[in-house]
Amino acid sequence: MHKESAIREPLILGHKTYHDITEDVCRSIEGKAPKTWYILFGIALLLGLYGVGCVLYLLGTGIGTWGLNKTVQWAWDITNFVWWVGIGHAGTLISAVLLLFRQRWRMAINRAAEAMTIFAVFMAGLFPLIHMGRLWVGYWVMPIPNQFGSLWVNFNSPLLWDVFAISTYLSVGFVFWYIGLLPDFATIRDRAKHPVSKKMYSILSFGWSGRAKHWNRFEIVSLVLAGLATPLVFSVHSIVSFDFATSVIPGWHTTIFPPYFVAGAVFSGFAMVQTIMLIVRKGLKLEAYLHTKHIEYMNIVIMVTGSIVGVAYLTELFISWYSGVEYESYAFINRATGPYWWAYASMMTCNVISPQLMWFKKLRTSLLFTFFISIVVNIGMWFERFVIIVTSLHQDYLPSSWSMFHPTWVDIGIYIGTIGLFFVFYLAFARYFPVLPIAELKTILKISGESYKNGSAPERPTPAPVVAAAAAPVVEQVVTEAPFAESASEAKEEISEEEKQNRISSLIEKLGAGSADAKDDLKLISGVGPKLEGTLNDIGIYTFEQVSKMTKEEYGLLDSITGTFPGRAERDNWAEQASNLMNK
Amino acid sequence: MADRVIYAMYDDDEVLMDGAKKLVSEGVHITDVFSPFPIHGIDPIIGVKHTRLGIVSFMFGLLGMTLAVIGFKYFMIDDWPIILVVNQTLAC
C-alpha cells in the first residue's frame, strides 16, 4: 500500500472504519431531512420560480424588458453568464487536475464540487439561450444542414466556440460526476429498505456489482476522463474571455484575458466550494472528512489564483498607460475614477486585497473567516465581470451617446432566480445523492485516516500463514454495527509503546500465560480471523482457556492495545465462546 | 471444472489480498472478488487483464479531430467560402 508521510496531517479524523464511512455519508440520504432543509428548499424554490416567471415574461415581451440601451448593449446577461461559468470552474479542476496530481484531499470535495459545476453551467447556459430572444430556434447555434441553402454558423466567432466549449464542458463534467456516483449509488441500493428507493437507486447504479473488473475499468475511465477534462479547465474560460478579447473595444481587446479569466474562474469556483461545503459539512455532520486542513488547502488555491488575478489587474492598468493609446488609457481611467468607480473599488477590494489575507495561517484556518471571505470573493468576481463589461461600453468613442446602465426588475429577477434554481438543485443533491465519494474515501482511509496514522489503530501484522489443516475457507464475519462509543473513544487516545507493553503484561497477568506450543485454533471463535489470531498470539494469548477468562475489563484492555475492532470481542462474547470450545 | 465453489468473506482488504495470493499459489481458481471500493493490486493476483480503453479513447479522439477538420474545410472553404482578405495582393 502507498505510504504517506507521518507528518502530513490526516485527511480523515478520528477512528473511522470502512463501515463508518458508509454510515456517515448515507445518514442524510436514509434519514429524514431536518426542518432547515425544507425551509431552505422552500426559499430557493420560491426564488427559482420567480426567476422562471421573469424568464417567461422576457420571452413573451422581448429583450427590451432588460435595462440595455444602444450604448450598453450587453450587461447583466453576459455578466451573470461569465460569473456562473466561472463558479463552475473549480469542479473540473478538482476532479481532473487534482486527480492527475494525486491530491487525496480532493476526495472530500470532488463530488460536491462536480455537482456544483454542473448546476452552475446549467445556470450559465440559460443566459445565452434567453438572450437569443427566440429560444425556440436555439438549435441554430449548431452546425446542422438547414433549409437556407449553404448557410453555416460562423466558425470564426468566439461566441460559437463558446457553444462548443460550454456543451463539452457540461457533458464531460456530467459523465465524470456520474461515473464516480455509480458505485456509491450501488452502495445505497444495497442498503435501501424501501422498495421504491431500492428500485430508483438500482436504476441509477446501472447494475454495478463491485467486482474486481468493474473497479479496474472504473479507475481507468476516471483517468481517461481526467485527461480529457484537463484541457477543458483551460479552454472553457479562455474561450469565454475571447468573447471580449477578440473584439475592438478598449478595455476588452486585452491579450492577457485568457489566463486571467482562467485564474479568476478557479478563484471564484473555489470560493463557491468553500461557501457551500462549510454549510454542507455542518449540516450533514461530515466534519471528520472535511476539516480545517481541507479548508486551508482550498484557501491556498484561492490565495494563489487571487494573486494571479491581482497581477492581471495591475498589468492591464500598466499596459493601458504604456501603450500610449488614449482610448485605451481612458477606458481604464474611467473604470477607476468614472461614474462606476464604486464597482471598480469593490472589485479591487474583494479580489485583490481579500485573498492576500490568506497569507496569515490564523486567518486561513479559521472557518468563520473563510466563509466570510468566500462570499466576499464571489461578490468581487461578479463585480469584475460587471466592470469589464459595462464600464468598457458605457462611455464609447462618441460622447453624445454616453449613458449609464440601469438594471430593470427583469434583470434582477432572472439573476436572483438563477441563484434560487442553483440552490434548488444543490439542496436536492445534498438530500438524495452521496455528497462524499464513499468508495474513494475508503481507499484513503488506511493511508490518511488519523487513527491509522498515529498508531491508535496500528498496522496489522501480516497474517500467520493459514494452517494447512484448515482447508475449509476462512469465513470472517463482517462487522455491521458501529463500534460502541466508549471503546471508540478509547481507541482514539494515543498510547506509547511503553504503555502498550504495560497493558499487555497486565492483560497476560490476568489471563495467565500461554505458550505457542500448546496453542488452540483461536480462529474457531466467531469474530477471530487469521489476522486477529496473529495479533492475539503476538500479545501472548494462545489458548481458549486464556480467552475464556476475559471480562469487560480485559476486553477494554485488549481493544486499547490492538485498536482494530473496538468493542468487537465483547459483542461477540469471546469468553463464552471460548469456554464452550474448551469443553468440547 | 472445480467440483465445489467456495464463497469467502473478508472484512479487510489486506487480509483478502493475502488470502487471495495464498489461494492462487495453492492452485485455487478465484472467479471474482467483490468489494465496496477498489482494492489496489488485486488485479494481477486474480488475473484481471489490462484494459485497452485508454488507447481506444485516444483513437476516438483522433477520429473526432479528423472529422472536425474535414467539417471546417467543407463549411468554410468549399460550401460557403468566407473571404477574410478582400485585397488579394495583401494576402500572403
Look at residue A474 and tell me whether its pLDDT is greater than 50.
no
Determine the average pLDDT of the residues in A320-332: 90
Q: Is A530 on the interface with B (CB under 8 A)?
A: yes
Range(s) of the domain holding residue B11: 1-49
Q: Are B58 and B83 in the same domain? A: yes
Model pLDDT, residue A495: 53
Look at residue A228 and tell me whether its pLDDT is greater than 90.
no
What band does A493 get if pLDDT is binned at 50, 70 and 90?
very low
Q: Are B13 and B39 in the same domain? A: yes
Contact criterion met (CB < 8 Å) for B12 and A531: yes
Write the CB contacts of B4 (distance below 8 Å, at least 6 apart in sequence).
none
SS3 for A405-431, per residue? Answer: CCCCHHHHHHHHHHHHHHHHHHHHHHH
Model pLDDT, residue A466: 43
Q: Are B16 and B45 in the same domain? A: yes
Shortest CB distance from A212 goes to which of B33, B76, B82?
B33
Q: What's the mean per-residue pLDDT of chain A?
A: 84
Contact criterion met (CB < 8 Å) for A463 and B79: no
Q: Are B81 and B41 in the same domain? A: no
Model pLDDT, residue A484: 35
3-state secondary structure of A211: strand
Helical pair A292-322 and A326-337, crossing angle rounded to 10 deg: 130
Q: Are B41 and B2 in the same domain? A: yes
Q: Are B29 and B68 in the same domain? A: no
* B-proximal residues of A, 4-23, CB under 8 Å: 18, 22
Total beta-carbon pairs less than 8 A apart between chain A and chain B = 111
Reported as a single tens digit per residue, the pLDDT across B37-90 is: 888 888 888 888 888 888 999 999 999 999 999 988 888 888 878 776 676 666
Model pLDDT, residue A481: 35
* B-proximal residues of A, 129-168, CB under 8 Å: 143, 150-152, 154-156
Write the CB contacts of B14 (distance below 8 Å, at least 6 apart in sequence).
A1, A460, A531
How many folded domains does chain B comprise? 2
Q: Are B2 and B41 in the same domain? A: yes
Distance separating alpha carbons of residues A399 and A381, to the nearest angstrom: 29
3-state secondary structure of B34: strand
Model pLDDT, residue A490: 36
| Whole-structure pTM value | 0.78
Look at residue A563 and tell me whether its pLDDT is greater than 50.
yes
- Map out the domains of chain A as residue ranges: 18-135+159-447, 461-583
- Chain B: closest CA distance from residue A211 (Å): 4
Contact criterion met (CB < 8 Å) for B36 and A1: no
Q: Are B33 and B73 in the same domain? A: no
Short-list A469, A455, A580, A463, CA closest to A532: A463
Contact criterion met (CB < 8 Å) for A531 and B22: no
Write the CB contacts of A553 (distance below 8 Å, at least 6 apart in sequence).
A510
Q: ipTM of the predicted structure?
A: 0.86
Reported as a single tens digit per residue, the pLDDT across A417-433 is: 999 999 999 999 998 89
Q: Are B81 and B38 in the same domain? A: no
Q: Are B30 and B3 in the same domain? A: yes
Model pLDDT, residue B77: 83
Contact criterion met (CB < 8 Å) for A479 and B8: no
Q: Are B37 and B4 in the same domain? A: yes
Q: Are B42 and B59 in the same domain? A: no
- Chain A: closest CA distance from residue B91 (Å): 18
Write the CB contacts of B13 (distance below 8 Å, at least 6 apart in sequence).
B35, B37, B39
Model pLDDT, residue A547: 79
Shortest CB distance from B80 goes to which of A150, A187, A216?
A150
- Cα–Cα distances (Å) from A269 to A308, A346, A359, in that order, read 15, 19, 19
- Cα–Cα distances (Å) from A571 to A481, A555, A577, in that order, read 10, 10, 11
A67 and A243 Cβ atoms separated by less than 8 Å: no
Model pLDDT, residue B50: 85
Q: Is A104 on the interface with B (CB under 8 A)?
A: no
Determine the average pLDDT of the residues in A182-209: 90
Residues of A in contact with B65 (CB under 8 A): none
